[in-house]
Every structure is written in structure tokens, then in C-alpha cells.
């Protein structure tokens, strides 16, 4: 009734490789090969197929973008940072059969690992993500700092790098912006419109996610988001 879908993602970069905005073409291709080989070795519910952007048909690419599964090269900030050099060389997407486990390769970071599904079962989405990360980590060494946690291109993602989010229908509460903002501030949540950051949602459907990435565990970040969402739903019911 309220939660349309749930999504949890993390960013990861590999040791011994420069970050995507400054990596050379040869190293980018080497990185893609190394990552895709590991992803193809995944088993169980994580088993899937890797699709390089450079060999992807336009029909498949458009469908994946429309389904919000694939990244595009239209972010002006990432473009100015050099994130689209050599586009689309060395980039791709991996997903399992049900498209509930996805990995973006060489977008903003070397890997953007994503678990998602319809409905509000955060525990299932979170567990799938963690198991996927653990399987990947047996073969790849991630860039990590004792002080800052996992290292990412954008400083806002440092630490856990995790963004846990739900697509939430709160049409009544969305007309009480001050109350909504108050709850989001209390639980350190970010509310985005359907078209991304700094956009509104005319029908009251928002992407609600945790703000904090640094100084806490992945589980705490997910729990913080879940508590805030539960509070938003309770207020929506009371209106």
C-alpha cells in the first residue's frame, strides 16, 4: 500500500587501479575484464549475465534505462570530473535472472553493487546484497582505509558507501511539507522526487533514503532508514 519498492546499494573500488575519472583506457579494459570474470563466477540467486555497454544493442540499452536498471552519461557533475572519458568503453552492467541483483561496472566507481525488489522486504534486499558483496570479495580486493572506510570517488559516499532506499507513497503527508521535513531530519533521511535530487513529486511518491554513510555500520544505516520510513507511514495513516 505504501512501499512500492526497496533498493540498497554500495559503491566499491578495487585496490591497485585508479578511480574511473582518471584511469587510462588500457587499465579500464583490464579492470572491466577482471570484474566481469568475477561476476560471471557468481552462483545461486546471484548468478547472471554481464552486458558490456560497447556491445549492447540499442533496444536492450533503452529498455534497461527505462526500467531504471542502467546508468546513463548525462550527469553534468560526473562529466566535468572526467567520469565519461572513453565512453562507453570498459563499462557495463551485470544482473541476475530476476534483476534483483545488479552491478554497474565503471560508472562513478569501479562497481556499484545493487540489490532491489518490489515491495518493502528490506531484510531480504539487504541480505541478498551482503551475500553478493561477500562472494565478490573472495576474489577482488576493495580499496579501504582504516580512517575513512571504503574509498569512493565522491566524498559523500565514504565509509559504508551504502544507500538504502524505498519508493514510498505518501500523498497526504506530502502536502504537509514541514512535518515531512521534520521526520526526515530526525531520522537523517533524504527525500527525493521521482526525477532525482531537488525534484518534487506531484503524486506524493518519494524516494526515501539514509543520509549517513560515514561513522556507522551498514546495518545501522539500514535500520535508521527503516525506522524513519515506519514513522512517515504512521503519520500518513493518521492524516
pLDDT at residue 201 in the model? 75
For residue range 72-103, what is the model confidence (pLDDT) as tens digits? 888 898 999 999 999 999 999 999 999 999 99
Annotated ligand binding at 33? The verdict is no
Q: Which residues in the chain are classed under CATH 3.30.70?
A: 162-239
Annotated ligand binding at 193? The verdict is yes
Annotated ligand binding at 213? The verdict is no
Annotated ligand binding at 195? The verdict is yes
| Top-confidence residue, 56 or 12 | 12
CB-based contacts of 32, cutoff 8 Å, min separation 6: 52, 90, 91, 92, 105, 106
Q: Which residues in the chain are classed under CATH 3.30.590.10?
A: 12-148
Segment 182-211 shows an average pLDDT of: 84
Q: Is 154 left (phi over 0), alpha (psi -120 to 50) or beta?
A: beta
Q: Which fold has domain 162-239?
A: Alpha-Beta Plaits (3.30.70)
Annotated ligand binding at 12? The verdict is no
Task: Burial-class residue 197 by CB neighbours within 10 Å (0-12, 13-18, 19+).
Answer: exposed
With a cut of 70, say whether residue 195 has pLDDT above it.
no
pLDDT at residue 199 in the model? 62
| Top-confidence residue, 201 or 224 | 224
Looking at the chain, the whole-number percentage of residues with pLDDT higher than 70 is 97
Annotated ligand binding at 8? The verdict is yes
pLDDT at residue 196 in the model? 61
Annotated ligand binding at 196? The verdict is yes
pLDDT at residue 223 in the model? 93
Annotated ligand binding at 1? The verdict is no
Confidence class for position 67, pLDDT limits 50, 70, 90: confident
Annotated ligand binding at 112? The verdict is yes
With a cut of 70, say whether residue 200 has pLDDT above it.
no
Annotated ligand binding at 9? The verdict is yes
pLDDT at residue 65 in the model? 76
Annotated ligand binding at 128? The verdict is no
Compute the 3-state secondary structure of the chain and give helix, strand, coil in percent, each to the nearest 5. Answer: 35, 25, 40
The beta strands (E) that lie in the chain are given as: 3-12, 48-52, 92-96, 101-105, 111-118, 144-145, 149-150, 163-169, 189-192, 205-210
Residue-averaged pLDDT of the chain: 93
pLDDT at residue 197 in the model? 60
With a cut of 60, say whether residue 198 has pLDDT above it.
no
**Residue with the three cell numbers 558483496:** 133
Annotated ligand binding at 6? The verdict is yes
Annotated ligand binding at 217? The verdict is no
Maximum Cα–Cα distance across the chain = 58
Angle at 75 between CA 71 and CA 79, to 5 degrees: 110
User: What is the architecture of the domain spanning 12-148?
Assistant: 2-Layer Sandwich (3.30)
Annotated ligand binding at 5? The verdict is yes
Amino acid at each position: 500500500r505504501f512501499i512500492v519498492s526497496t533498493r540498497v546499494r554500495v559503491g566499491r573500488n578495487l585496490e591497485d587501479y585508479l578511480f574511473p575519472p582518471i584511469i587510462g583506457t588500457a587499465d579500464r579494459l583490464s579492470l572491466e575484464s577482471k570484474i566481469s570474470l568475477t561476476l560471471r563466477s557468481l552462483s545461486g540467486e546471484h548468478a547472471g549475465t554481464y552486458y558490456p555497454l560497447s556491445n549492447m544493442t540499442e533496444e536492450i540499452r533503452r529498455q534497461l534505462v527505462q526500467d531504471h536498471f542502467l546508468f546513463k552519461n548525462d550527469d553534468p557533475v560526473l562529466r566535468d570530473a572526467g567520469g565519461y572519458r572513453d565512453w562507453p568503453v570498459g563499462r557495463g552492467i551485470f544482473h541476475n535472472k530476476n534483476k534483483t541483483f545488479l552491478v554497474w561496472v565503471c560508472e562513478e566507481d569501479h562497481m556499484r553493487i545493487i540489490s532491489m525488489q518490489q515491495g518493502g522486504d528490506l531484510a531480504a534486499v539487504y541480505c541478498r546484497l551482503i551475500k553478493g558483496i561477500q562472494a565478490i570479495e573472495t576474489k577482488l580486493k576493495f580499496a579501504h582505509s582504516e580512517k575513512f572506510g571504503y574509498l569512493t570517488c565522491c566524498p559523500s559516499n565514504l565509509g559504508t558507501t551504502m544507500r538504502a532506499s524505498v519508493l514510498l507513497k505518501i500523498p497526504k503527508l506530502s502536502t504537509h511539507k514541514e512535518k515531512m521535513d521534520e521526520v526526515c531530519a530526525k531520522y537523517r533521511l533524504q527525500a527525493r522526487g521521482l526525477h532525482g535530487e531537488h525534484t518534487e513529486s506531484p503524486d506524493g511518491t518519494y524516494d526515501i533514503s539514509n543520509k549517513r554513510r560515514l561513522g556507522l555500520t551498514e546495518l545501522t544505516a539500514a535500520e535508521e532508514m527503516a525506522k524513519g520510513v515506519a514513522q512517515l507511514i504512521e503519520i500518513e495513516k493518521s492524516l
